[in-house]
Amino acid sequence: MSSRSSGARKSLTRFAFFSEKLGALAGPSAEGVQTRLYWLLVGFLALVFLTGGASRSDVQSLIFLRPLAVLGCGLALLSLRREHLRKYRMLVWMAALVVILAVAHLIPLPPAIWQALPGREVIIGIDNIAGIKGEWRPLTMTPGAGRNAFFSLFVPLAVLLMVIQLGGEHLRRLALPVLILGALSGILGIFQASGDPHGMLYFYRITNNGSAVGLFSNRNHQAVFLATMFPLLAVFASQSMKTEGAIKIRFAVAIGAAITIIPLLLVTGSRLGLILGALGIASGWFIYRRPEATGVRRRTERKSYVAPILGGIAAVILGLLTIMASRAEALKRLVGTNVGEEDRAQAWSLVSRMAHEHLPWGTGSGSFVEMYRQVEPVSSLAPVYFNHAHNDWLEVWMTFGIPGAVLMFLAVAVYIPGVWHVRSLGERRDSGMLVAQAGAVILFLFAVASVVDYPLRTPSLACLFVLACCWMYSGLSNSSLSAGNRRRD
């Protein structure tokens, strides 16, 4: 009897142990929810970068991506709590205002109100000729494009709703999947630059054929993504490890990856990439902090510089091979005159004029292409057309008017003090503050890129933008909480 009861107790003990472990992963515990959300977010980010590398509304992969983004929003809402919203209240408010503004442009208005808006004279004249009267129309002059703009918000919104529920450790761990995606995009760019310019390695029908676009359709967007890898690599190299040898290996990997990114930026053929790359390298230099070994160093352990040297040599060789294998056209574009970019600069004056003519509400969400066609000079007509103003600051001002300008001003007004606070805490070694600094740099790179391009209109880069916002804001929140605790003590 004694042996049977003892065996039964052991069986019950094992059952309780495994139940506890399974409950931590699948049950309602905080750790289980965090783990599930983290891996759900990693999977969603991988999906976005594989299918959302273009800004066009007719990309076929959006048929799958956007419904899954709506589903992701729903799953995230199931575990969302008030404390999550409270911690990221500024970001949540900004996101809510963006969604409200997009919805406001789709609400039908009475004819008397709509016809009183500036810049509607052409449509009113067409209605009079066609005998159309009493038609209710939304604020945007292109309702179809306005609906597309609204639905495009669900992809970054899903990321936001998941990220704000993650704890500090899970939030910092998101840097590694982004680095892996950057490596994948860079390697794909190498094969694109050395292979068939119209081959199957280009994921999108309308793309910069012959250039190393990676997971994107636009060379500039690939360059922006690669430039954001520099601050993240600095964070990666600053992580503490148990031994000095592990620290050196991690440092060698980071240096090798950074050296490899430089020729990859060159073969994209993006002038913007050169500027952002230089800014990214400089930021990585300031972010990096020499890590400390957390384990006890053995007396027999010797310093070894073999791994860093080999890593650097391998990266240099890979970079040289990349340049040699790349097409000459991609590098010639960096030093030659680019007619398209000159046309963009000339178009900015027209966009600015339209913005002032349609104040205070703007031409409407997603209306740039149709509205620009009305004022485009005959001398600039060509088989290609301007799909965006290539200056997102100016395009938001044109399409969303004063409300859009106010949102941009609020974003800058929140960002600048945040950067100053992050800079003042630059000597701290904790990984949370390092990731916050990397997030601040990534936001700055996006702001610079938006002066001559439209990176945030690409779903994958919009999601990276949301991640950077949360990285920066989380670091600021944690530092404020720590300061408050010290004052109370």
In a domain, 178, yes or no: yes
In a domain, 187, yes or no: yes
The total domain count for the chain is: 1
Determine the pLDDT at residue 27.
46
The per-residue pLDDT for range 455-485, each reduced to its tens digit, is 999 999 999 999 999 999 987 766 554 444 4
The per-residue pLDDT for range 374-386, each reduced to its tens digit, is 887 776 666 666 7
Judged by average pLDDT, the poorest of 194-203, 426-435, 446-455, 480-489 is: 480-489
Return the percentage of the chain with pLDDT > 70, whole number.
Answer: 78
Give 37 or 487, the one with higher predicted confidence. 37
Give 26 or 262, the one with higher predicted confidence. 262
Task: Check pLDDT > 80 for residue 295.
Answer: no
332: confidence class by pLDDT, cuts 50, 70, 90: low
311: confidence class by pLDDT, cuts 50, 70, 90: low
In a domain, 117, yes or no: no
Determine the pLDDT at residue 50.
95
319-336: average pLDDT: 52
Determine the pLDDT at residue 299.
46
In a domain, 249, yes or no: yes
168: confidence class by pLDDT, cuts 50, 70, 90: confident
Domain, as residue range, for 284: 30-105+140-295+304-488
Task: Check pLDDT > 60 for residue 341.
Answer: no
In a domain, 24, yes or no: no
Of these ranges, 19-23, 242-246, 272-276, 315-319, the one predicted with the greatest mean pLDDT is 272-276
The per-residue pLDDT for range 385-398, each reduced to its tens digit, is 678 888 999 999 99
The per-residue pLDDT for range 69-101, each reduced to its tens digit, is 999 999 999 989 999 999 999 999 999 999 999
Quote the pTM value: 0.85
Phi, psi (degrees; rounded to nearest 5) at 137: -130, 150
Task: Check pLDDT > 90 for residue 161.
Answer: yes
212-218: average pLDDT: 91
In a domain, 444, yes or no: yes
404-421: average pLDDT: 92
Give 75 or 325, the one with higher predicted confidence. 75
Give 325 or 207, the one with higher predicted confidence. 207
In a domain, 112, yes or no: no
